[in-house]
Amino acid sequence: MISVLTLVKNREAHLGNLVEGLRRSSTAPTELVIIDMSDQPVERPAADFPITLVRLDTDALPLARARNLAAAHAGTDRLLFLDVDCIPGADLVSAMTNSLGGGDALICAEVLYLSAHDAKNGCWSEHSLRASGMPHPVRSFPAAGRARETNYGLFWSLAFGVSRGAFDRAGGFDENFSGYGAEDTDFAFRAQKAGLDLFFLGGASAYHQHHGVVDPPLQHFADIIRNARRFYAKWNVWPMKGWLDAFADMGLVTWASGDLVVKRTPTRADIGKARQPRDRRF
């Protein structure tokens, strides 16, 4: 038994593909819990498994709060958090269910990145997704089974499994992180402090649906600055260093040691220049 948990904000088409992936799974999930933060409420998808749709009215993007809310509504002791942009492969649910039976741990599933043309209009097969999907350049997954990962900074929340007991041991996501950025790395650090192992799971993938990319993510500038400062205050190390370096190169911030100073906020022109071509996958 396993609960799949996802969050959606204005990506209903992506949600439809996620649900379709679960419908095609070799083993259906026990349930799907959806936290809906969209500007207009999404419609409840149709499926052969139970779906709990929870409305969270917000103008922001409270990822930590939303993930905790999803876990609170889950009816099983095994949790598979799946980003709404991800289409689960046919064996992901069963593989994660089995892997979570091996003791308390954080388990990240492999995610392959799709182009703008893959999975468009719901026309896809797993064979086509696997043929097109590209692995993340920084994270290495085994061909099959679990591999221990000692760098908790590589944890990602796109597709990960955790038992309810382990989730509670880590304290869930820290809701003091508001908006976008660092809440997932903080959760991984909390899990490490709680004594949980981190594993990468190979042989059962999710497929990340394309969406527009702004790099660095200037549209989340205020959230990233606020959450970076909070993270440093907790852990005495800076998260999101690549983004902070990019902000510094643009003259937006100066940062060194324990000091992060905003020099100016990004303009619309800055954001436009940072918008990536449609063929950019990650």
3-class DSSP assignment, residue 16: helix
pTM of the model: 0.94
As a whole number of angstroms, the distance between CA 201 and CA 199 comes to 6
The values of phi and psi at residue 157, to 5°, are -95, 5
Confidence check: pLDDT of 193 > 90: yes
Mean per-residue pLDDT over the chain, rounded: 93
CA geometry: angle 137, 143, 145, nearest 5 deg: 115
Fold of domain 3-208: Spore Coat Polysaccharide Biosynthesis Protein SpsA; Chain A (3.90.550)
Residues 6+ apart with CB under 8 A from 268: none
Q: Is the pLDDT of residue 120 over 80?
A: no
Residue 38 has pLDDT above 70, yes or no: yes
Q: Does pLDDT of 196 surpass 80? A: yes
Contacts of 28 (CB under 8 A, 6+ apart): 22, 48, 49, 93
pLDDT score, position 118? 83
* pLDDT at res. 280: 63
- pLDDT at residue 281, as a whole number: 60
Q: What is the rounded distance in angstroms from the CA atom of residue 163 to the CA atom of residue 44? A: 26
What residues contact 7, with CB distance under 8 A and at least 6 apart?
A: 34, 35, 37, 63, 66, 67, 70, 83, 84
Mean pLDDT, rounded, for 211-229: 90
Q: Do you find a cis peptide bond into 216, omega within 30 degrees of 0?
A: yes
Residues found in the chain: 282
Q: What is the pLDDT of residues 63-107, one digit of tens each?
A: 999 999 999 999 999 999 999 999 999 999 999 999 998 778 999
Give mean pLDDT, residues 212-226: 90
Domain ranges in the chain are 3-208, 218-274
Structure tokens given for 162 = 């955790």
Q: Which pLDDT band, with edges at 50, 70 and 90, does 282 fall under? A: low
Mean pLDDT throughout 111-119? 87
Coil, helix or strand at residue 246: helix
3-class DSSP state of 154:
helix
pLDDT at residue 212, rounded to an integer: 76
pLDDT-above-90 percentage for the chain: 80
Backbone angles phi, psi at 65, to 5 degrees: -60, -45
How many Cβ atoms from other residues are within 10 Å of residue 117's Cβ? 11
Using the predicted structure, report yes or no on whether residue 136 has a pLDDT greater than 90. no
SS (H, E, C) 207-242: EECCCCCECCCHHHHHHHHHHHHHHHHHHCCCCCHH
Q: How confident is the model at residue 214 (pLDDT cuts 50, 70, 90)?
A: confident
Beta strands in 30-82 (DSSP E): 31-36, 51-55, 78-82
Angle at 40 between CA 35 and CA 42, to 5 degrees: 50
> How big is the chain by its Cα radius of gyration, in Å?
18
Answer for the pair 233, 226: CB distance below 8 angstroms, yes or no.
Answer: no
Q: How far apart are CA 123 and CA 213, in angstroms?
A: 22
Pick from 115, 160, 107, 112: nearest CA to 136: 112
Q: What is the mean pLDDT of residues 47-62?
A: 94
What confidence score (pLDDT) does residue 258 get? 81
The pLDDT confidence band at residue 33, using thresholds 50, 70 and 90, is: very high
pLDDT at 278: 67
